[in-house]
């Protein structure tokens, strides 16, 4: 059995080290002897989302994000079906915005999103830039996610569940203390850093969900997460404990 990871548009969306999310997912599978392969999907490539077990979608610069949105529109039905069937997805920043209803530009123009989820984004006054700490509950466990945000858009969730609540930083919109969003097995966040390496609980949850899609329901073997915990803890200490 092999888990298939789809990395969407690595050529276009390669800002902020987000490919580290794919690296983290893949390594934590390999360290447990779980077979994994990565399919990189670029503009116009054929892809069957039903054959995919984990999908990663990052953010890019404005021009590149426009190209991505256009290409994704052509794959919308297949993606919607896969998401409704429980596909594990991680979408960061621009990828997160794209899954929602729309992005409203400063001049009022509405750029439509894929509409897979009910959130929407509006251009804000200035960018939210800086380290972020988020209190989240994953698989029944309380955890603190750490990362770095850098976004101009303000996202509002409508009835969606947030990924967590902001303990430090801006989050979705700098106002309502929410960060990210969840829907079925889709996880969205503004956090770069990248997100998964320093937040192994989330990585392992995504691996568990990918395995479950393959009909494998067993627990994951524990790994030595000393470095992961040190890196996560260092940021929490720096921002919260020493204030």
User: Site residues (CB under 8 A) for another protein?
Assistant: 10-11, 14-20, 23-24, 27, 61-63, 129-131, 148, 150, 192-194, 197-198, 224, 226-228, 230-231, 233-234
Nearer to another protein, 10 or 86 (CB): 10
Compute the least distance from the CB of residue 31 to another protein, in Å. 10
What is the per-residue DSSP string for 206-240? HHHHHHHHTT--PPPPP---HHHHHHHHHHHIIII
Q: How far is CA 8 from CA 48, 57, 168, 186, in A?
A: 12, 5, 30, 15
DSSP-derived letter for residue 161 is B
Q: Which residues pair with 91 in a beta bridge?
A: 57, 188
Compute the least distance from the CB of residue 111 to another protein, in Å. 18
Q: Is the dihedral of CA 190, 191, 193, 197 positive or negative?
A: negative
Compute the least distance from the CB of residue 189 to another protein, in Å. 13
Compute the least distance from the CB of residue 231 to another protein, in Å. 4
Q: Which residues pair with 130 in a beta bridge?
A: 149
Q: Which residues pair with 40 in a beta bridge?
A: 7
Among the options 7, 119, 151, 192, which is catalytic? 192
Per DSSP, helices labelled H in the chain are: 19-30, 62-73, 76-84, 94-99, 195-198, 200-213, 226-236
Among the options 6, 52, 93, 188, which is catalytic? 93
Q: How many CB atoms lie within 10 A of CB 85?
A: 12
Nearer to another protein, 113 or 193 (CB): 193
Nearer to another protein, 84 or 237 (CB): 237
Nearer to another protein, 159 or 224 (CB): 224
Among 38, 39, 91, 47, which Cα is nearest to 65's?
91
Task: Confirm if 95 and 58 have CB atoms less than 8 A apart.
Answer: yes
Is 188 one of the catalytic residues? Answer: no
Compute the least distance from the CB of residue 103 to another protein, in Å. 17
Nearer to another protein, 48 or 61 (CB): 61
Q: How far apart are CA 193 and CA 111, in angstroms?
A: 27
Is 93 one of the catalytic residues? Answer: yes
Which residues are part of the catalytic machinery?
A: 93, 192
């Amino acid at each position: 059995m092999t888990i298939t990871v789809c990395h969407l548009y690595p050529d276009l969306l390669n800002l902020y080290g987000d490919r580290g999310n794919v690296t983290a997912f893949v390594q934590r599978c390999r360290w447990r002897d779980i077979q994994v392969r990565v399919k990189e999907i670029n503009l116009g490539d054929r892809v069957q989302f039903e054959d995919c077990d984990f999908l990663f979608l990052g953010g890019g610069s404005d021009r590149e994000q426009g190209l991505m949105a256009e290409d994704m529109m052509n794959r919308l039905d297949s993606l919607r079906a896969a998401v409704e069937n429980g596909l594990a997805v991680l979408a960061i920043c621009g990828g997160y915005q794209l899954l929602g209803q729309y992005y409203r530009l400063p001049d009022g123009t509405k750029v439509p999103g894929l509409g897979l989820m009910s959130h929407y984004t509006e251009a804000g006054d200035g960018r939210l830039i800086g380290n972020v700490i988020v209190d989240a509950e994953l698989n029944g466990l309380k955890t603190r996610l750490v990362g770095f945000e850098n976004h101009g858009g303000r996202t509002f969730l409508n009835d969606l569940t947030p990924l967590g609540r902001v303990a430090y930083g801006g989050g979705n919109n700098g106002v309502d203390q929410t960060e990210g969003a969840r829907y079925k097995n889709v996880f969205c966040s503004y956090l770069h850093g990248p997100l998964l390496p320093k937040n192994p609980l989330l990585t392992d949850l995504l691996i568990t969900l990918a395995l479950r899609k393959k009909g494998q329901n067993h627990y994951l073997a524990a790994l030595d997460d000393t470095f992961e915990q040190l890196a996560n803890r260092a940021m929490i200490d720096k921002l919260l404990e020493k204030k």
